[in-house]
A and B are shown apart, each in its own frame.
With several copies, the nearest count.
Chain A
Amino acid sequence: MKDTVNSTTDGTTGGTVATDHQDERLQRREGLRGAFTDVVERARGGDLGVIPVVVGLIVIWSVLQILNPIFLSSQNLVNLTMESAAVGVIALGIVCVLLVGQIDLSVGSVSGLSGAVLAVLFVDQGLPAWVAISAAVIIGAAVGWVYAQLFNRFGVPSFVITLAGLLGFLGLQLYVLGTKGAINLPFDSGLVNFAQLAFVPAWLSYTLAVVAAGWLFASGYLHARERRKAGLSSKSTSALVVRSAALLVALLFMVWYLGQTRGVGWMFVFFVALVLVMHYLLSRTRWGRSVYAVGGNVEAARRAGINVRTIYTSVFVLCSSFAAVGGILAAARLAAANQSSGGGDVNLNAIAAAVIGGTSLFGGRGTAFGALLGIIVIQSISSGLTLLNLDSSIRFMVTGAVLLLAVVVDSVSRRSRTSHGRA
């Protein structure tokens, strides 16, 4: 087969113009200047990735800082990072299910259940922490597996399956906690320490920042070289240098600023690491491709030979497992598991974080970084408003208004998309 096809390749590739830039309708851009024009052009075309969310974030940060100057203080930002981690991890799982066009309403209950299981095994039963943690995560994964079976076999809408899960696992959580209702995790346990007091030493933070920027440069450089070799267009080295330097400066500044008080929490680093791993899985593996394909057009994915059921299963399992991990982090952060853990607005916040981060509820569009940005938007609003001394009624109204503001900014900057025909 391959021979047939290759036999007529006319070998014009690798000339002076890169293979992918030969169409005469394409405006060509090269070098640093080209990269810049490209960004501007993409911005006008509404194809901006996460930039709009970042803009929205900057707007609400400014508003909140004006309302209370403590908001951007180092200490408050450290709180912000630590408080984002638990729900952020849950939102990461939500991104995955939303990508395949499904939903999981039970992440709150599953996280609560996981916290309860952890507390019972670790505190009441006195098992080692790793056993308790594994058990909690395995239960989470099992929940996702059951959802996937129900979904794949019976075709029950995931909304209803997970609504049933929401109720069922809330019940199980209460049952596991029993009459006690709440269990404290010991303050001197590694787990609580990790979530409350463990911060990355300054030297290590700076090193990590440099490594991250260096890695961005190196991988970008190698990739560009490979593309050039294959006769394809590639990012110019100068553009790469600028990007890496920008990242470096941003990271160094962040590390330095947070370092003014407690620094960067290990829990936050853990969350960011998970985001990076998920980003890799979603964008650089066949599994990730299949997830987007299933979310975009499940029938097309099936016809391409993708085992759609496996993809659904993996995604539901992943989401519930992340919910369980989030529940463990939440319990560790609170140093307790109680009846209301995972209740309240955990579900809505996790889903909202994913959606605010640009994940489509209809499937096929979204990124792992969206969860990171989305949760930071949500936690910023929540944290910013706790700094204002407001009545609950006013607080709710202001929260709603600020949330809307953040997202309108985002949507307006995306808006041109439609008028440029990318609806």
Chain B
Amino acid sequence: MSPTQQPDAVLSLRGISKTFGAVAALTDIELDVAPHQVVAVVGDNGAGKSTLVKILSGVHPPDSGTITFAGREVDIPNPAAAHKLGIATVFQDLALCENLNVIQNLFLGQEIRPLRLNDVAMETRSWELLRQLSAKIPSVRVPVAALSGGQRQTVAIARSLLGDPEIIILDEPTAALGVAQTAEVLNLVERLRENGLGVIMISHNMADVKAVADKVAVLRLGRNNGVFDVGDVSAEDIIAAITGATDNAVARRASRRQEGLPS
């Protein structure tokens, strides 16, 4: 094991790189996640956050680097392997089957009673999960194609709660959610942490990050750009690390508005 690895980490990445054609999406990434810990991964658009998520969940194999899970070096060649390790993921593009309905999507690959599906049990459980996330879905028997963006995102999040994961990865889970749903998801993340899971959360919303994360890892142009304890940094510092400059569009906009330009 690498000397820099946190002793209590359940998941550790070392030297992960990934290239797509001529674009180096990730270069030499390190990341540690411990149980009872929420790690926020932040970064600009195209910084490589989702690529990192996809590597952890077996969607893409990394070009180089090692992944250590629960003390063992592992290989995650496909998503089934990630599931087996106990890594559940909510993808940014949700990865739902539009032709299937909400129940079918929720239980995809983990149906109750595989040889004679128990749809009553599945429907009951679906409503439970969705209620809990304050989802405003009128019917769970419509194909996902007919849902609104936020409704879909709720379905994707609900799905990751089935099964019994040790690590949950949320790639911009609240991007399309309403204010109430966002609050519920943040509550959920806190509950997950209390239950001893490791959570990786990707977000562009500094308020959410500051509210629930323990550690913030910043990616910039595919490279590590610092890991902070959330108590030690201000939102401005994080933004500076993300954009690579203290004089950035956000700061300029903020100061302009303070100078009293028309709102």
Which residues of A are at the interface with B, using a C-beta cutoff of 8 A?
1-10, 12-13, 19-20, 23-27, 29, 38, 41-42, 45, 47, 223, 226-227, 230-232, 284-287, 289-290, 292-293, 295-297, 299-307, 364-365, 419-422
The answer to whether B111 touches A292, judged by C-beta atoms less than 8 angstroms apart, is: no
How far is the CB of A153 from the nearest CB of chain B, in Å? 15
The answer to whether A419 touches B61, judged by C-beta atoms less than 8 angstroms apart, is: yes
Give the nearest-CB partner of B89 in chain A. A303
The answer to whether A297 touches B80, judged by C-beta atoms less than 8 angstroms apart, is: no
Contact of A23 among B96, B129, B136, B191 (CB under 8 A): B136
Contact of B79 among A284, A293, A305, A419 (CB under 8 A): A305
Q: Which of chain B's residues have a CB closer than 8 A to the CB of A3? A: 195
A296 with B97, Cβ < 8 A, contacts A26-B22, A230-B124, A284-B117 known: yes
Contact of A422 among B22, B109, B145 (CB under 8 A): B145
The answer to whether A8 touches B132, judged by C-beta atoms less than 8 angstroms apart, is: yes
The answer to whether A305 touches B83, judged by C-beta atoms less than 8 angstroms apart, is: yes
The answer to whether A4 touches B21, judged by C-beta atoms less than 8 angstroms apart, is: no
A25 with B222, Cβ < 8 A, contacts A289-B104, A293-B97, A364-B97 known: yes
Q: Which of chain B's residues have a CB closer than 8 A to the CB of A27? A: 22, 24
Task: Give the contact stretch, choosing among B1-9, B161-169, B224-232.
Answer: B161-169
Determine the interface band of chain B, counting residues with CB < 8 A from chain A.
35 or more
The answer to whether A20 touches B22, judged by C-beta atoms less than 8 angstroms apart, is: no
The answer to whether B138 touches A25, judged by C-beta atoms less than 8 angstroms apart, is: yes
A sample of 7 inter-chain contacts (CB < 8 A) reads A9-B128, A13-B127, A41-B22, A227-B123, A230-B123, A289-B117, A300-B97
Give the nearest-CB partner of A42 in chain B. B21
In order of increasing CB-CB distance, the 4 nearest A-B pairs are A296-B99, A286-B114, A23-B138, A296-B97
Q: Which of chain B's residues have a CB closer than 8 A to the CB of A1? A: 161, 163-165, 195, 197
A6 with B128, Cβ < 8 A, contacts A25-B24, A301-B108 known: yes
Which residues of B are at the interface with A, using a C-beta cutoff of 8 A?
20-25, 57, 59-61, 78-80, 82-83, 89, 91, 95-100, 104, 107-111, 114-117, 120-121, 123-124, 127-129, 131-132, 136-141, 143, 145-146, 159, 161, 163-165, 191-192, 194-195, 197, 221-222
How far is the CB of B249 from the nearest CB of chain A, in Å? 11
C-alpha spacing A24/B100, complex, angstroms: 24
The answer to whether B95 touches A4, judged by C-beta atoms less than 8 angstroms apart, is: no
How far is the CB of B177 from the nearest CB of chain A, in Å? 17
Q: Which of chain A's residues have a CB closer than 8 A to the CB of B59? A: 302-303
Q: Which of chain B's residues have a CB closer than 8 A to the CB of A7? A: 191
Contact of B139 among A26, A42, A305, A307 (CB under 8 A): A26
The answer to whether B80 touches A307, judged by C-beta atoms less than 8 angstroms apart, is: yes
The answer to whether B138 touches A292, judged by C-beta atoms less than 8 angstroms apart, is: no
Give the nearest-CB partner of A44 in chain B. B21
How far is the CB of B90 from the nearest CB of chain A, in Å? 10
How far is the CB of A286 from the nearest CB of chain B, in Å? 4
Give the nearest-CB partner of B137 in chain A. A23
The answer to whether A13 touches B195, judged by C-beta atoms less than 8 angstroms apart, is: no
A300 with B23, Cβ < 8 A, contacts A20-B140, A232-B123 known: no
C-alpha spacing A307/B79, complex, angstroms: 9
C-alpha spacing A26/B163, complex, angstroms: 31
Q: Which of chain B's residues have a CB closer than 8 A to the CB of A230? A: 120-121, 123-124
The answer to whether B138 touches A5, judged by C-beta atoms less than 8 angstroms apart, is: no
Q: Which of chain A's residues have a CB closer than 8 A to the CB of B132? A: 5, 8-9
Q: Which of chain B's residues have a CB closer than 8 A to the CB of A299? A: 95
The answer to whether A306 touches B195, judged by C-beta atoms less than 8 angstroms apart, is: no
A9 with B163, Cβ < 8 A, contacts A26-B23, A296-B98 known: no
Give the nearest-CB partner of A419 in chain B. B61
Interface centre among A8, A41, A42 (most CB of B within 10 A): A8
C-alpha spacing A299/B95, complex, angstroms: 7
The answer to whether B99 touches A25, judged by C-beta atoms less than 8 angstroms apart, is: no
The answer to whether B97 touches A421, judged by C-beta atoms less than 8 angstroms apart, is: no
Q: Which of chain A's residues have a CB closer than 8 A to the CB of B197? A: 1
The answer to whether A303 touches B21, judged by C-beta atoms less than 8 angstroms apart, is: no
C-alpha spacing A369/B212, complex, angstroms: 51
A286 with B117, Cβ < 8 A, contacts A1-B163, A296-B98 known: yes
C-alpha spacing A285/B104, complex, angstroms: 11
The answer to whether B128 touches A5, judged by C-beta atoms less than 8 angstroms apart, is: yes
C-alpha spacing A226/B117, complex, angstroms: 14
Q: Which of chain B's residues have a CB closer than 8 A to the CB of A223? A: 120
Q: Which of chain B's residues have a CB closer than 8 A to the CB of A420? A: 20-21
C-alpha spacing A196/B207, complex, angstroms: 76
Interface centre among A227, A301, A303, A304 (most CB of B within 10 A): A303
